[in-house]
């Protein structure tokens, strides 16, 4: 088979698969409407049977939701009351049980997984290059305009060495270089001055991430070893992510 015919054949197949998936998605989306229309027009014994089935489904769904929302709490348990004589100081106590739901562990894992990238500011205002950079004129007659000076706060690591001024395109002023950040712990409600390990992501541009520019919404990694945080396995937490607000 010639190459162009093979390509046409594969495009047709791929197109058919896409059409099938799209039709399937639309059919699933329409199901709710068709179910609703059937529930409105059905009558007689069929209506009774259908409503009984829907009632059972709703009860099951409510039970599941309640189980997921239930926390590890103390509840009264009649079977836990010991038989026979009880000391006077235990007479006012009732038998208790702890409602431990398996889903709590799953929920906690999901929260931890989602919390890794859960940021206080999901959206930030874009910054124009004119606001971020200032044009530096160079050359004998100040005609060359290829250098840029960064006007925002930046992070520069300890092992950083500047390029020779002749070849340096982006200039980071010493007065705008930061090595520490004031980070507020959301649960403790306390603020700590912590050393910055690095800039993880600047949502404005990959270039700003590379240059270590600290603007609103920038995700940075800070050193929290001084706070003494430990994981569930007992390991000391070294770095944590924080976002500039």
Domain ranges for the chain: 23-58, 129-244
Q: Tell me, what's the pLDDT at 4?
A: 57
217 backbone φψ class: left, alpha, beta (φ>0; ψ -120 to 50): left
Task: Give me the pLDDT at residue 19, please.
Answer: 79
CA dihedral 31, 35, 37, 39 (to 10 degrees): 180
Half-sphere exposure of 106 (CA within 13 A, CB side): 6
CA distances 24 to 10, 34, 49, 192, 239, Å, are 21, 15, 28, 53, 45
* pLDDT confidence of residue 146: 92
Q: What's the pLDDT at 46?
A: 92
**Cα separation, 82 vs 155, whole angstroms:** 65
SS3 of residue 24 by DSSP: helix
pLDDT at 5: 61
| Phi, psi dihedral angles at 149 (to 5 degrees) | -105, 130
What would the pLDDT profile of 44-98 be if each residue is shown by its tens digit?
999 999 999 999 988 888 888 777 766 555 555 555 556 666 676 666 555 555 5
Q: Which portions of the chain are predicted below pLDDT 50?
A: none
Tens digit of each residue's pLDDT (9 = 90 or more) over 7-19: 556 556 556 666 7
């Amino acid at each position: 088979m010639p190459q162009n015919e093979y390509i046409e054949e594969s495009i047709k197949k791929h197109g058919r698969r896409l059409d099938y998936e799209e039709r399937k998605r639309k059919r699933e989306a329409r199901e709710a409407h068709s179910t609703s229309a059937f529930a409105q027009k059905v009558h007689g014994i069929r209506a009774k049977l259908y409503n009984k089935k829907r009632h059972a489904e709703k009860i099951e769904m409510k039970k599941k939701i309640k189980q997921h929302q239930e926390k590890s709490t103390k509840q009264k348990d009649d079977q836990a009351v010991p038989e026979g004589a009880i000391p006077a100081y235990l007479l006012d106590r009732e038998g208790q049980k702890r409602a431990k739901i398996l889903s709590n562990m799953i929920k906690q894992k999901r929260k931890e997984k989602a919390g890794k990238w859960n940021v206080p500011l999901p959206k930030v205002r874009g910054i124009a290059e004119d606001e971020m950079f200032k044009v530096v004129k160079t050359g004998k007659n100040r005609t060359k305009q290829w250098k840029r000076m960064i006007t925002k706060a930046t992070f520069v690591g300890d092992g950083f060495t500047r390029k020779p001024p002749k070849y340096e395109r982006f200039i980071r002023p010493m007065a705008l270089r930061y090595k520490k950040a004031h980070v507020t712990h959301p649960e403790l409600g306390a603020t700590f001055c912590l050393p910055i390990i690095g800039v993880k992501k600047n949502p404005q541009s990959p270039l700003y991430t590379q240059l270590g520019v600290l603007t609103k919404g920038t995700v940075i990694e800070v050193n929290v070893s001084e706070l003494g945080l430990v994981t569930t396995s007992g390991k000391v937490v070294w770095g944590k992510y924080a976002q500039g607000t």
